[in-house]
Structure 1
Amino acid sequence: MTKNTTGKFQFLDEPGEHGKVFAAYEHVKLYSAFQPIYSLSHCRVVGYEGLLRAIDGRRQVSPYQIFSLARDEASIVHLDRLSRALHLRNFCSMGRESADWLFLNVDPRVIVQGRQYGAFFRQLLEENDMPPERVVVEIMEGAIDDELQLSESVGFYKDLGCLVAIDDFGAGQSNFERIWRLSPDIVKLDRSMIVQAMQKPMARRLLPGIVSLIHEAGSLVLIEGIETLEEAMVAMETDVDLVQGHYFGMPAHTLNEAQSENKIFSLFERYQASSALDASQKCLTYYRGAFMQAVAQLQAGALPELAFHKLLLLNGADRCYMLDQQGVQLGSSYLADRAEMSTDRRYRPLADGSGAVWLRRPYLRRALQNPGSLQMTRPYLSIATGKLCVTLSMAIVLHGQVSILCFDFNWVDEGFGIK
């Protein structure tokens, strides 16, 4: 075994183990493991997260135990920097010529106090000939209370040319305000979010919206901690960009690209055949005939209460109503017989929709943009009933004027309110 040093760090290169560099910290031997990160759309590895592993004699030691050995601020900064240097050296020693990212964690305490201990990261990248654009710096923002220091640290890594990822979003005190202010390149959703989505239908329904909101803020989204096929399918439903977890690939000393590509292809096959895609078709098949019959009867001059009769008899039906081009409701809603019983009484002040302006609703905008085409919303909270519903809408011409026919039906967490 030969010893060599880089700066203040001591590395141990073991013969016969290509690409495997160790480091010493007190009496413990440190080494790197790399967990692959996949792009679902590209069906391949696009990066690896460097994870610290340690051995004390023959006993495995957890990263938490290792950092507990650092009893003061200077030791914490030293160990954090040693870990990043170790991962970067191992990653570069494996002869990677591709554009894959290397994800590196920075201890929150180092984010706040690290600059007091001199320059480090720029020189580290230069010494290893590592292009900064291939490095993703992970910051656990929820653990940092100093907002100014957090913003300055994010700016520092971005100015270097690195990408910045907010880690463990959804755990602890994470909030969207920091995403809007920091503008991270990647947001890593904590495993707790996928666990909640598996356990609670409401969380599963909301998760795609959270991903969409982060996308609109200008960040890619990575879900970490995916361990099972079922969790991977939930990730597929969310339009998430990147995935990481034991289901796709375990941490390893080597960089294995192809180990889970077949799994991703099979996920797409399952997704295409799953209810995630055919639920909307099931809904349209169930309601389309009665909806189109109501349209034909209205255009033939029938009174709305007669035209809507068959549609409102269908299982799950709640109400029908008409809007003008400005989104103003024309008269009262026409309710299914059981609608009054299912309405949350606490929302009664909002039940009468006559004259209400629904201009902001997506079902109005989509109908006006696609006249004569049946539109369907995602589930949302009905202001009239206090319950989840889905709205079908269509812009039609009645008496020479454009009107929008809307039909609300109930949604339950297991799916549409139909059998």
Structure 2
Amino acid sequence: MTTHDPLLGAGTRAFLDRLPLEREGGRQLRRLADGGVVGDWFGCELASVFQPIVEPAGGRIAGFEAYLRVHGSGERELSPWALFSSNADDGRLIALDRLARTVHALNFITSVEDDGLLFLNVHGRLLAAVSEDHGAAFRKVLDALGLPPDRIVIETPVSASSQPDLLTFVLRNYRLNGFCTAVNLASPAQWKALSQVVPAHYVKIRGDTLTPGDEGHAETLQSIAQKATVVVTRLEEKTTALPASALAQGYAYGLPAQRAAIAGPERFALRCFAR
């Protein structure tokens, strides 16, 4: 797509057309010749790749999770977590996170034409670094782009699920700002401590924490499915041993790919909903 594609809203086209001039405190968003967007962060280039989240039975795509790719000088690829860790100051960390989310949102909106969801991770340190109103600043970016916040799923890390009080506060903030929310579990057993307090639309759990044939795990997945949509992640082989409403993510269902590869596959509309 180009910035003049009629499928893009006027706000998005205007935003993209201004990108070469957008600078603030050493940060810059830059539009590429193919219509993609990268972020410049003090000598590093931030780019997006997207992994599909699918309906296992039919293979239709419900949405994509965005991952950051970071290139240093000479196109040397860097670890995103190393980049975030090197920004020890909370203010810089918040700015970096918002820049990364904006890059992902722009690459997503210029690639996906339907109502698919975009899953975005939030760095664990940000949960405490932002004292209140989580998601308010990013909501303003989405409003400028014309991208409804209920197409964005803010995903918290596994480490946050060991702090139910903080996690609940943060997720409620995001929901008040119109976002969908997702939590990651370290194991099925962790759900017991979170089930009554965490307002999540999606619960993500790694496939390698589930034991085939374990009735306890099956019961836990069914219990989660009564309150949220289950997403089983890191699946390296396709499986049918999931709750009927569950979604699947992993190499078996699609590798992370650049924006050009995510335009066109069959998808189905899936919006977050109140439980």
Task: Tell me, yes or no, if the aligned pair for 2:40 and 2:46 is still in contact at 8 Å.
Answer: yes
Residues 66-117 of structure 1: CA distance to partner in whole angstroms, max 9, x if unpaired?
A: 21221222222121111111101111122x3311000011112212222469
Aligned equivalent of 2:138 = 121
1:11 aligned to 18, 22, 29, which one? Answer: 29
Q: 1:224 to 1:146 in 2, by over 3 A?
A: closer
Aligned equivalent of 2:265 = 258
Aligned equivalent of 1:243 = 248
1:61 matched to 2:71? The reply is no
Residues 259-287 of structure 1: CA distance to partner in whole angstroms, max 9, x if unpaired?
A: 99xxxxxxxxxxxxxxxxxxxxxxxxxxx
1:26 aligned to 42, 52, 67, which one? Answer: 42
The count of corresponding residues between Structure 1 and Structure 2 is 244
**Higher relative contact order structure (alpha carbons within 8 Å, sequence separation ≥ 6):** 2
TM-score, normalization by structure 1: 0.53
Q: 1:227 to 1:141 in 2, by over 3 A?
A: closer
1:42 Cα deviation after fit: 4.8
TM-score, normalization by structure 2: 0.79
1:145 Cα deviation after fit: 5.9
Give, in whole Å, the separation in 2 of the partners of 1:124 and 1:45: 25
Aligned equivalent of 1:164 = 181
Residues 25-72 of structure 1: CA distance to partner in whole angstroms, max 9, x if unpaired?
A: 122111000111101245300100111001112211121222122122
Task: Tell me, yes or no, if the aligned pair for 1:35 and 1:50 is still in contact at 8 Å.
Answer: yes
1:225 matched to 2:228? The reply is no
Give, in whole Å, the separation in 2 of the partners of 1:63 and 1:207: 32
Summarize the alignment of residues 44-83 of structure 1 with structure 2, pairs less than 5 Å apart: 44-56=60-72, 57-83=74-100
1:188 Cα deviation after fit: 0.4
Q: Which runs of 5+ in 1 are unaligned?
A: 261-419
Summarize the alignment of residues 60-209 of structure 1 with structure 2, pairs less than 5 Å apart: 60-94=77-111, 96-115=112-131, 119-140=136-157, 142-143=159-160, 147-170=164-187, 174-194=190-210, 197=211, 203=214, 205-209=215-219
Residues 341-370 of structure 1: CA distance to partner in whole angstroms, max 9, x if unpaired?
A: xxxxxxxxxxxxxxxxxxxxxxxxxxxxxx
Q: 1:148 to 1:6 in 2, by over 3 A?
A: farther
Summarize the alignment of residues 305-384 of structure 1 with structure 2, pairs less than 5 Å apart: none
Q: 1:223 to 1:68 in 2, by over 3 A?
A: same
The letter for the 2-side match of 1:207 is H
- State, as a whole percentage, how many aligned pairs show the same letter: 25
The letter for the 1-side match of 2:255 is M
Question: Equivalent residue of 2:194, what SS?
Answer: helix
1:192 Cα deviation after fit: 3.3
Larger radius of gyration: 1
Q: 1:4 to 1:249 in 2, by over 3 A?
A: farther
The letter for the 2-side match of 1:237 is A
1:168 Cα deviation after fit: 4.0
Task: Tell me, yes or no, if the aligned pair for 1:108 and 1:144 is still in contact at 8 Å.
Answer: no
